[in-house]
Amino acid sequence: MEIKLLTTIKANTMSESLFERLGGVKGIEKIVDDVVDAHLNNPVISARFTPYLEQPKNLSRIKSHTVEFFTAGSGGPLDYTGKDMVTTHKGMNISASEYMETMEDILLILDKHGKNAQTKKDVLEILWSLKGMIIGQ
């Protein structure tokens, strides 16, 4: 009986979309807020984010686009209305080490939010697929 129950729980968990596993729009909004806070406190990348503290409209827009991006990319109901990744990051010359720090912050926040290994793996795959569109632009 226990094995059957565990199999059912595992099957139900795996049938949920990434969007659902991230907690829907509200969950993604909380994750994005925490990720931005983590970036602001990360000494390797904080300089890229601290200017936005004095630009609350821009910070809000960036957060909104990030929520849209992860909602759309994870199977949710929102469309992404921001610019493509190359255009967005053009002229920033983000290094590979900065990008790795960004990914590390995101994974730590997913841990904080109690996301399972498969969910973290799925998010990591998305982030890894974007690296060529962001690093060195």
Binding site members for heme: 65, 89
Cβ 34 vs Cβ 113: under 8 Å: yes
d(CA 45, CA 61): 19
Cβ 39 vs Cβ 102: under 8 Å: yes
What tokens does 68 get?
Answer: 């849209």
Residues 6+ apart with CB under 8 A from 45: 39, 98, 101, 102, 105
- Residue 79 per-residue DSSP state: P
Half-sphere exposure of 2 (CA within 13 A, CB side): 0
What residue numbers does the annotated binding site cover? 65, 89
